[in-house]
């Protein structure tokens, strides 16, 4: 057996109601002068409260608001601020791109990293991976980090206040773990990979069963199952199964679509979910099985309930011309793209045709649950 390196989990995870306050003593052991990074104005009050809570523990922190998505300009700026102020830790509080930025800054500086997801929109708070974008949000590359965060704090009280749209986006991103991993890894003889694939299937089933209730009622038990599934369990799957369990076509399609302009910028999971429907169309075209068609129909039902994009029309492209879509397909199919992990060949023409087939789809009123 070949040697495989796995960064499976943060060193410590604290989850539940009031997890932030309960983690303050842990934070003081990891950092005496942290840099707190965030971005959204809507979460600025939360970050300010974090700073005040730390001060009561004798921790003098520094705050920095990022200007863009996780991009080189912000990374370099934060790196210098942290280094010049002798910061010994990074506290990243926000959505996926903020968490990715915090992990990368800590990795570059060789200091401790604490992630505090303020929504359940991605599993970025868990993983040893950061995605890099241009200042205007175009995907550039992903960077594998030396380790997962030292501490992940998933405070239900805080995350419940995030917009429902972020949870829906997280569900699309998390459910993709099954549809991508079974396609690229189901025949693997590696026990870790097999276990990760089956974990992805269990997660998918939990999302189907509890997703709409969680989306509509953040005080429900379903919300806890779904939010932790999106923000935590999805990260375990990628850490345990490795790169081949993380991506097939849905994520590369997302990367391609970020190269385009939008009237209302989609969230990460919204584009991944649309990419997942495209992936299933490609699979249907290259398979004699009816399962991809059934799965696509099931996902359209599920996504419709969550107001997730299910067509080109619903992803709010500023320019829907063929030239623009083809540009996205070319990026998604570049030589280094993970789309080539599919068990059948795909080029930009194949992908363009598949996207065109999802030009306009009507939303459906009910979720159908089955075991495909």
- The residues annotated with a catalytic role in the active site are 173, 251, 254, 268
Residue 127 CB neighbour total at 10 angstroms: 29
**CA atoms lying within 13 Å on the CB side of residue 2:** 5
**How far is Cα 88 from Cα 207, in angstroms, rounded to an integer?**
38
Q: What angle in degrees, to the nearest 10, is found between the helix axes of 268-285 and 164-185?
A: 30
**CA atoms lying within 13 Å on the CB side of residue 279:** 33
Contact 75, 131 (CB under 8 A): no
Q: What angle in degrees, to the nearest 10, is found between the helix axes of 250-257 and 348-356?
A: 90
Query: Which three-class secondary structure state does DSSP give residue 250?
Result: helix
Start-end of H helices in the chain? 19-22, 24-30, 44-56, 72-84, 96-109, 156-159, 164-185, 191-216, 221-228, 234-241, 243-246, 250-257, 268-285, 291-305, 322-332, 348-356
Tokens representing residue 49 in the block: 């409260």
DSSP per residue, 203-240: HHHHHHHHHHHHHH-TTSHHHHHHHHIIIIIHHHHHHH
The residue with tokens 């501490």 is 151
């Amino acid at each position: 057996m070949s040697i495989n390196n796995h960064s499976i989990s943060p060193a410590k995870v604290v989850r539940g109601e009031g997890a932030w306050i309960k983690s303050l003593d842990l934070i003081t052991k990891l950092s005496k002068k942290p840099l707190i990074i965030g971005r959204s104005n809507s979460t600025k009050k939360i970050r300010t409260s974090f700073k005040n809570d730390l001060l009561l523990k004798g921790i003098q922190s520094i705050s920095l608001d990022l200007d863009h998505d996780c991009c080189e300009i912000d990374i370099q700026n934060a790196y210098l601020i942290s280094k010049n102020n002798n910061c010994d830790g990074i506290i990243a509080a926000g959505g996926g791109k903020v968490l990715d930025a915090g992990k990368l800054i800590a990795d570059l500086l060789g200091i401790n990293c604490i992630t505090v997801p303020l929504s359940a929109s991605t599993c970025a708070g868990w993983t040893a991976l950061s995605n890099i974008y241009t200042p205007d949000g175009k995907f550039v590359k992903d960077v594998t980090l030396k380790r997962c965060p030292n501490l992940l704090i998933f405070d239900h009280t805080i995350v419940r206040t995030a917009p429902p749209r972020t949870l829906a986006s997280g569900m699309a991103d998390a459910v993709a773990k099954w549809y991508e991993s079974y396609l690229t890894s189901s025949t693997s003889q590696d026990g870790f990979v097999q276990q990760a694939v089956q974990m992805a299937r269990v997660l998918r089933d939990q999302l189907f069963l509890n997703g709409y209730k969680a989306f509509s009622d953040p005080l429900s038990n379903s919300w806890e199952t779904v939010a932790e599934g999106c923000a935590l369990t999805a990260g375990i799957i990628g850490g345990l199964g490795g790169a081949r369990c993380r991506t097939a076509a849905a994520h590369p399609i997302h990367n391609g679509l970020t190269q385009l302009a939008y009237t209302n910028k989609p969230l990460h999971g919204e584009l991944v979910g649309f990419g997942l429907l495209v992936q299933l169309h490609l699979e249907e075209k290259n398979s004699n099985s009816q399962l991809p068609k059934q799965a696509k129909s099931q996902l359209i039902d599920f996504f419709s309930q969550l107001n997730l994009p299910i067509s080109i029309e619903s992803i709010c492209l500023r320019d829907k011309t063929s030239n623009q879509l083809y540009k996205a397909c070319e990026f998604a199919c570049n030589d280094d793209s993970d789309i080539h992990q599919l068990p059948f060949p795909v080029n930009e023409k194949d992908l363009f045709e598949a996207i065109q087939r999802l030009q306009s789809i009507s939303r459906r009123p009910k979720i159908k649950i089955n075991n495909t």
